Chains A and B, each alone.
Chain A
Amino acid sequence: MLHIVNKSPFERPSLDACLRSAQSNDAVIFIEDGIIAATQGTVLSDKVENMLSSFKVYALKADVDARGLSNKVIEGIEVINYGQFVELVVENGTPISWL
């Protein structure tokens, strides 16, 4: 499955809901305000970095750049464009959005 998280973990517990519902080797992509989770130096960065041991984790470049956070993405999280986002959906089975 591909889990799509679009809200900031500081705004809403959507990432937590996602993590309770995801299985090993699922893919998770952060989009919109969700990319805030993908950044270094927050109180949640360790938790998000730990996700890398169970999931393939991505962040949408357009949203990272728009928020001025391109140099703050956690290492290991792959920053991708919309074309790659589409291919991610193709490759990872059923998409589920955590709004």
Chain B
Amino acid sequence: MAEDEDADARYDDEDSYGDIKKFIYINRKAPHGTVYALESLEVVLIAAAFDQDVSLVFMDDGVYQLKKNMDTNELEVKNFSKTYRALEMYDIDKLYVERESMEQRGLSIDDFIVDVTVLNSNELAKLISEQDVALSF
């Protein structure tokens, strides 16, 4: 992927960032019906290089983004499911699923391709209230 390397290289020096900010990624849409699941994951992967405090939340149909056993062969689209497992390698390990969304859809943590923390709505509200930057997809 072509990158504007010079522009990003200016920020290799950690000190120029000042305090670390809390970024939250809000994922509410199912994968494949739209591009948002894939492209939000691409943002998260780039974000890893910036050493900020990153949380990913999956709620509403977003919980389906983490579903195990996706087979996209017949759809002839990229299966990016495994990428969620790679997040850990980038120190992105705060993945949260909203309990209500999960249960409404008859899913449980055993359905997910990665380890997640399940939050009830109050806990989610508290997490969200602590964030500096919210990226919604």
Contacts and interface: CB of A to CB of B under 8 A. Distances in A.
Given A17-B28, A17-B60, A98-B136, A23 B131 contact: no
Interface size class of chain A, counting residues whose CB lies under 8 Å from the partner chain: 10 to 19
B59 A96 contact: no
Contacts of B59: 17, 21
Interface of B is mostly: mixed
Interface residues of B, number: 19
Contacts of A96: 24, 26, 128, 131, 134, 136
A85 to B, nearest CB: 17
A22 B26 CA distance: 14
A23 B129 contact: yes
The listed residue with most B CB atoms (<10 A of its CB), out of A13, A14, A20, A23, is A20
Please give me the 5 A-B residue pairs with the lowest Cβ-Cβ distance, nearest first: A96-B134, A20-B121, A97-B136, A21-B125, A21-B128
